Structure 1
Amino acid sequence: MGSKSGPTANATLDDKARVQLRLARAAQEAGNTGSAVRFYRAVLDQAPGHVGALLGLGETLSESGSAADAVVELQKAAAAVPDNVEVQTALGRALVRANRPDDALNRFDALLRRNDDDLRARLNRGVALDLAGRHAEAQGEYRHVLKAEPNNATAMANLGLSLALNGSAEGVAILEGLVQGGVDSPRVRQNLALAYGLKGDLEAAARVARLDLDDANVRSNLAFYETARQFVAFKP
């Protein structure tokens, strides 16, 4: 059985596989998805039950848009080390990306039953709740995290987007504050563009969207915002 923190390798690696595992992790950290996947799969060819390789492969696939494939690999790891927090968290995140919020919530709920102070599980649970359309509950999770960590920019950004999705102008104000305060990653900026779009301010949405996107993608996003507005009753 695995530990409750880092993954446990439950298969012995030879020298070549150990080198491949190091290369896979380095490629993953560098964002070289193709090389990371190739090296992780090479390790698993030699040691199919190696949890570290399964975790790394699953995370890489999840982050590169292959969420369904990521879930398959991470389920193998979770079956091998059911008490492993890192593996269960990664699986929950992959389930969110695979548009399976209910399954993801089951994972995060289990983590919180074991440790109610697991702020990462709460943050991820909020994302799953937003995906399920349960925005008020999601906001409760983000506020719980912010009570413990007032400067948690991810929780603040998620709260802002969740409020905007729920039609609250407070969400726009939160996202504007983050961008003006220097927390202006592409993700936060595009969340702000979405919030402007949901509010009906397409001029502001386009201005922010152009900071990261080309004209074709900006036009596509603006069309999406117009459609999405039908499902959001924005409140001043």
Structure 2
Amino acid sequence: MRLLPSRLLVLALALLPLCGTSALSQPSAPAAAVAPSPPRDDVADWLARLELAKLLTESGRHAEAAEEFRKVLRDRPGETQARIGLARALFWSGKRDEAAAELAKAPPAALSAEDRLLQAEIHLAAGRHEQAIDALIAYLALRPADLKARLKLADALSWRKRLDESLAEYEKILSATPDDRQVRRRYARVLTWAGRNDDAIRELRISLGR
């Protein structure tokens, strides 16, 4: 049977929806998800250098440590850890005045108890007793049980003729360690300086076991 042109057109239009789903009209497959990169744990150069300087200090290589701390401070002049580390390295290298100068640049609030003790040691070594006294008082406010530091404070106070304050510190030490004969003898010596000879005699006799 021959189809008329009009019928061919109708048939073609009817078949068009079936043929319209070509490969081009098919929805594309979703792209494979890209796995996120793992977070990087990068360490900045200055931080690595700071760690190197600390390790050199712990190894007793103080001159090398000081140089590394200085490099950190050139890039980050406000880095307190580097400033204090440099002071420690300089102190152990025998450069006490330089060490004191570096510690003086650190904000007081940033100084730990150990930093205060270092400050006191630097001042004592340089004969700056008043500054040492201030540093020891600040340290003992944080570490009151440190009898060695308290003895240094008692001695420094006596050298500055602050005898009543010195005697009070010796008495605190003897209260904790009454059998320490050497501390008792130093206590007796300061009692003598204070004109309390009878008390000094008593303390010396105790130190001799009498």
Class of the TM-score when normalised by the shorter of the 2 chains:
0.5 to 0.7
- Say which of 96, 99, 104 aligns to 2:132: 104
Change (3 A) 1:76 1:138: same
Query: Structure 2 matches for 1:215-226, cutoff 5 A?
Result: none
Provide the residue aligned with 2:46 in structure 1. 17
Larger Rg: 2
Provide the residue aligned with 2:87 in structure 1. 58
| Aligned CA-pair RMSD | 4.0
Q: Kindly report structure 1 stretches of 4+ aligned residues shifted beyond 6 Å.
A: 133-140, 160-163
The aligned amino acid for 2:128 is R
Change (3 A) 1:96 1:17: same
Which secondary structure state, in structure 2, belongs to the residue aligned with residue 31 of structure 1?
Answer: coil
1: CA distance, partners of 2:61 / 2:123 = 22
Scaled by the length of structure 2, the TM-score of the pair is 0.54
8 Å Cα contact 2:86/2:99 also seen in 1 = yes
Query: Structure 2 matches for 1:1-236, cutoff 5 A?
Result: 15-79=44-108, 81=110, 84-113=112-141, 116-117=144-145, 119=147, 121-126=149-154, 128-129=156-157, 141=169, 144=172, 148=176
Judge which range, 35-44 or 137-146, deviates more. 137-146
2: CA distance, partners of 1:129 / 1:79 = 22
Structure 1 or 2: more helix by fraction: 1
- Higher relative contact order (Cα pairs below 8 Å, separated by 6+ residues): 1
Gaps of 5+ in 2: 1-42, 191-210
How far off its partner does 1:99 sit?
A: 1.6
Change (3 A) 1:18 1:112: same
Change (3 A) 1:73 1:136: same
Gaps of 5+ in 1: 1-13, 167-236
The aligned amino acid for 1:68 is D
Change (3 A) 1:69 1:127: farther
Change (3 A) 1:115 1:25: closer
Structure 1 vs Structure 2: percent identity of aligned residues?
29
Change (3 A) 1:132 1:161: farther
1: CA distance, partners of 2:79 / 2:73 = 7
2: CA distance, partners of 1:133 / 1:21 = 43
Change (3 A) 1:107 1:56: same
Scaled by the length of structure 1, the TM-score of the pair is 0.48
Judge which range, 72-81 or 99-108, deviates more. 72-81
